[in-house]
Structures are given as C-alpha cells and as structure tokens.
Structure 1
Amino acid sequence: MSSNWKNVNNWYWVNKNCLNWAQKYFAEQLEGLKTEKDGHTVSIIKLDDCSGDVDLNMRKGKIITIYDVSLKLSFQGELVDGTEVSGSITIPEVAHDSEADDYVFDITINEDSSAKQPIKPVIRKQLQPLICEKLGNFADDMIATHRNDVYIDPSKLNNPAATA
C-alpha cells in the first residue's frame, strides 16, 4: 500500500462543488410533493430555480458541508369548490447552519384573489413540513453521495504509525 501523495492522512482541505447535483437533488425530492386538507389539494410541480453555493469539504479528516441556496418552486392546487390555484413558493435561504424553524416561505398566488386564499394555510400547515423534511435530509444525502470524492478511507492510506 502506498500513501496518497495528494492528501496524506486526509489532512489538507479538499473541496467539491456540488451545485449541479443539488439542483437535480432538489428537483427529485421536491417535485411531486403533494398534500390535502379539508378537500383542498396542493402539489409542487416544478423546481424553477436553485441558485447559490453548495460545497462538500474535507479538512483534517472531517467531512464538512457548506451550502447556502435559494429555491423557487411552482405549485398547483385545487380548492374544495373546484377553484384552481397556482403560484410559487420561494425559500430565500437554505443553508448548512439553518434549522427547519429558520426557513422563510414566501408564497405568491397567480391572479391572486380572496377566493384563492384558502390554499395558503394548506401550504403552510401541510406542505411546508413535507418540504422541511426533505431539506433536512440534504446534508446527509450529499455526504453519502460525494464522500468518496473528498475523503480517502484510512484503510487505503499507508500510515506507518497505524500499522506499527
């Protein structure tokens, strides 16, 4: 076994840009989420935008996620009376140091009217927790997917101190 000349013992900072992966990830995880309450239904139909920074890092043998993105989602819904409602949900900051309670959800209804307002509580109380659950899995899923790109398993390193 030989030592890895690029990053002996996983000591030096290694970085991987994961923004493209994050864009696909959020589309896969969020598009199609749907819920209903009292006959009102709503679903996420598209991830319109995911922009910002998403990096997986390794330093001194520790995997570190650093990300800060904004998300814009399109939704479609139907009220119990058959009124169709569409619009967008913007989450201006999804960051590595954010908790579910920190997320801000800006809801915009297309052709807004008082008749379409009943969709907002369904989004806030039913759909938002589903979105937060998906966002909560993001860092662990990024590590699971990209860990081997930034971290060398210690068993593959030539470490004389460990074998002595």
Structure 2
Amino acid sequence: MVVHNPNNWHWVDKNCVNWARNYFDNRVVGLNSVEDETKEVEVTSISSMEGDCEVSQRKGKVISLFDLKLVVMIKGHVGDEEFEGSITVPEIAFDSEPDDYQFELSIYKETSKLSEARPIIREKLIPQLRDTFSKFGPELLQTHANDIQVPEEQVKSEFTRANAQSTQTTSTPASSKPSVTKTSSSDVKSSSSVPGSSKGPLYNTTTLHLEPTFNVPAIELYQTFLDKQRVQAWSRSQLVCESSKNTFEKGDEFTFFGGNVSSKLIETDIGKRLVFQWRLNDWRSGHWSTLAMDFHESQEYHETKLQVTWSGVPVGEEDKARGNFLDYYVRSIKLTFGFGAVL
C-alpha cells in the first residue's frame, strides 16, 4: 500500500476484509473437539462473513475498527450418528471482550441422541473459538499497522513519532503469529455476471447465511418453492413464466413480486436442495446472485431447517435482501400454509 502522508498526520484507511476472511479460513477451519472416540465435532468451513474490517491511521496512531458476523459450518458424530450444522457468531467487534462473544448453535436433522453434541461444542469447541477471536484484533494491527504509515525516518514530528511508537508498543503481542498468507476466495469480492456473459464484475458482493425452521416435512417445503400455484399464493403475486407446466423445472426462468424479482431454477435435488439465480430489477443489468437452499428434515422433531446460502448479494444490500427474504418468503410461507410459528 503506497502512502503519501507527511508526518503520518492525515487519516488513512485500509480495507482488511479480504485478510480477515483468509485469517478465519486459516485459524478457525479445522478446529475440533474430540470428547472420546464416540463423540467428535469439527469446523469444516466458513459459510459467510459479513461486516467491515479496517485499519486506520491518523496523527501517527494506528487503530483497528471491525464489526463482523461469522457463520462457520461444523460436522461430527455421536456414536454412529453423523451430523452437520453451523455456529453463528453475531458480532466480532474491535471492542469485544472474550466473554462478549455469543454463539448460536444449529444441528441439522437433530435427534435426541445428536443433542448430546451440544454440551461438547459448548465446553470444548467454543473456548477455542473465543481464543481465536480474541487474538484477531492484535494480529490485524501487527500485520497492517506498518504499511499505512510512511517510514519512521521520514517523520519529523515528535508528536506523531511518539504516537507511532506507543501504538507499536501496546498493540503487538509477543506471541502473535505471522501474517496470514493463504490465498482463498474472499467473502467480499467482485461478482460475476450471468453465466456465459462476457461482461466484467458489476458489484462487490457478499454472502448471506440464513436458517429458518418450518414445521413441515422437507418434501412439502421443497414443493412450496416449485409448485406455481403455491408460489403465487405465498408471494401474493402473479408469476410470469414461459413454461405452462404446473411446477418449475430446471432451466425455467420467471418473474414475480410484480416483476420486481427475476429468477431462474438452475439445480434440483428432490427434497434436499434447490438453487436459483436471483436478481432485483433495480440491480445493474446482468448482475445475478445465487440463492441456494438445502433442506434438513428432523423426523424426530417434525421440522425442517432450511439452510440458505445466498451469494453474490451486492455490498450494501445485505440488510434489505435478508429482511425481504425473511418477510416475503419465510414469514409469508408460514402464514399462508401454517408451516410454523410467526414471530
């Protein structure tokens, strides 16, 4: 990063979201908890990371400002029963203390036996996550503090020189690991256009992760997104689709919500998974997000958890997209068909 900032006096910001995603890929993925040979839980991937992460400098003082929401995917087994799930951390912030971190645990297709994994996760895995998150801020500063300032020999101001020395003394832990160098896809990244299009990136994008629960078998919920009469009922809008069949099939394109939403069905796995290309009509022409839905039914608890991974959402549109999905998809489906309590 090239800095032209006499005496390190002016405000300089550096966006570190990409580095943060790589950091968590390196430090969180692979954490595991082995209670004994019969019970094990492991972090398998980062599903989504939302929020801001910056390192800033002014008057020789370097500070970090970050507020992130992280969703990690887990897998494991209790005896011979295997499971998958997620842990959502709503806030990892620059002013968070280790005890401030909250963890929302979800086990897909949960049974009474698989519920035995919950105390293991709380007692063995979550302390490791707390420790990793606590080290994030100091390591962020250690890695990025120097390259947003001009070299010390170019600083003539005693005031800013003293601030810089104070920052280096207080923010760099002796036990910090070297900077993260692993190369992987960032959660905030340049989006692609419609598959096959020659156009370049249209937005910086992010990925959303949602997990609403419905009191209905997975196949019934699955059909609720494909049966055209049901879609018109819960969307309270007229569908426009070239296909005259009663249900959507792979490759079908359609618009609904008064033409404000366009979608295309691109993947199906009966009762298990649906993937749509999805866009708002006020997004830039050619930009599509990918709305993937995985259906996890717990027959013991008579419910289906819908795991939604929504990639390609333009940065700045996250709250709008999440709110619209919860209101116009989840809440409306529950109200229309009685598939669960409405909060």
TM-score, normalised via structure 1 length: 0.88
Q: Kindly indicate whether the alpha-carbon contact (under 8 Å) linking 1:51 and 1:71 is maintained by their aligned counterparts in 2.
A: yes
What residue number does 1:69 align with? 68
Give CA-to-partner distance per residue, 1:49-74, whole Å, 9 cap, x none. 11100000011111100000000000
1:153 lines up with 2:133 in the alignment: no
Distance 1:126 1:161, change over 3 A: closer
Gaps of 5+ in 2: 160-343
What value does the CA root-mean-square deviation take over the aligned residues? 1.8
Q: How far did 1:12 drift?
A: 1.1
Distance 1:58 1:35, change over 3 A: same
Distance 1:133 1:161, change over 3 A: closer
What residue number does 2:106 align with? 108
Distance 1:112 1:7, change over 3 A: same
Separation of aligned partners in 2, 1:150 and 1:97 = 21
Separation of aligned partners in 1, 2:50 and 2:112 = 32
DSSP 3-state at the match of 1:21:
helix
DSSP 3-state at the match of 2:80:
coil
Separation of aligned partners in 1, 2:6 and 2:77 = 57
Separation of aligned partners in 1, 2:145 and 2:88 = 29
Give CA-to-partner distance per residue, 1:97-127, whole Å, 9 cap, x none. 1111111100011111211111111111110
Q: Kindly indicate whether the alpha-carbon contact (under 8 Å) linking 1:71 and 1:91 is maintained by their aligned counterparts in 2.
A: yes
Q: How far did 1:153 drift?
A: 3.1
Distance 1:160 1:94, change over 3 A: closer
What residue number does 2:306 align with? none
Q: Kindly indicate whether the alpha-carbon contact (under 8 Å) linking 1:83 and 1:116 is maintained by their aligned counterparts in 2.
A: yes
What residue number does 2:337 align with? none
Q: How far did 1:152 drift?
A: 2.3
**Which has more radius of gyration?**
2
Separation of aligned partners in 2, 1:40 and 1:62 = 48
Give CA-to-partner distance per residue, 1:26-70, whole Å, 9 cap, x none. 111100011112441111000011110000001111110000000
Gaps of 5+ in 1: none
Separation of aligned partners in 1, 2:82 and 2:110 = 11
What residue number does 2:30 align with? 32
Q: Kindly indicate whether the alpha-carbon contact (under 8 Å) linking 1:85 and 1:119 is maintained by their aligned counterparts in 2.
A: no
Separation of aligned partners in 2, 1:160 and 1:55 = 25
Give CA-to-partner distance per residue, 1:10-30, whole Å, 9 cap, x none. 111110010111111111110
What residue number does 1:48 align with? 47
Separation of aligned partners in 2, 1:15 and 1:98 = 21
Q: Kindly indicate whether the alpha-carbon contact (under 8 Å) linking 1:96 and 1:139 is maintained by their aligned counterparts in 2.
A: yes
Q: Kindly indicate whether the alpha-carbon contact (under 8 Å) linking 1:33 and 1:44 is maintained by their aligned counterparts in 2.
A: yes
Separation of aligned partners in 1, 2:145 and 2:157 = 24
DSSP 3-state at the match of 2:120:
helix
Separation of aligned partners in 1, 2:100 and 2:92 = 9
Matches within 5 A, 1:54-133: 54-79=53-78, 81-133=79-131
The equivalent position to 1:8 in structure 2, one of 6, 9, 12, is 6
Distance 1:50 1:160, change over 3 A: closer
Q: Which has the higher contact order (CA 8 A, sep 6+)?
A: 1
Separation of aligned partners in 2, 1:109 and 1:150 = 42
DSSP 3-state at the match of 2:102:
coil
Please identify, of 67-76 and 112-121, the stretch whose mean Cα deviation from structure 2 is larger: 112-121
Query: Percent identical across equivalent pairs?
Result: 35
Q: How far did 1:141 drift?
A: 1.5
Letter in 2 for 1:145: T
